[in-house]
Amino acid sequence: MEQLTPLINALKRYWKADLRRLTFLAALVMALVTARTTSGPRLALSLGSIAS
């Protein structure tokens, strides 16, 4: 979660959303960058505990 904080803060400037939604969006963006794919199962592995 600590690594998502800067991205969450940046997203707050553009979207007025609940912190849970911003956290998920930030995690999804990080998973896309990390996994370098849009494959659902691979993204789920990259999301880790936030996907459960």
At residue 5, the pLDDT reads 93
pTM above 0.85?
no
Question: Burial letters for 26-50: b for 16+ Cβ neighbours within 10 Å, e otherwise?
Answer: bbeebbeeebeeeeeeebeebbeeb
pLDDT band at 1 (very low <50, low <70, confident <90, very high): low
CA Rg value for the chain: 11
Q: How many CB atoms lie within 10 A of CB 7?
A: 16
**Of residues 50 and 6, more confidently modeled:** 6
pLDDT tens digits along 5-47: 999 999 999 999 999 999 999 998 888 888 777 777 877 777 7
At residue 50, the pLDDT reads 65
Helix (H, G, I), strand (E, B) or coil at 49: helix
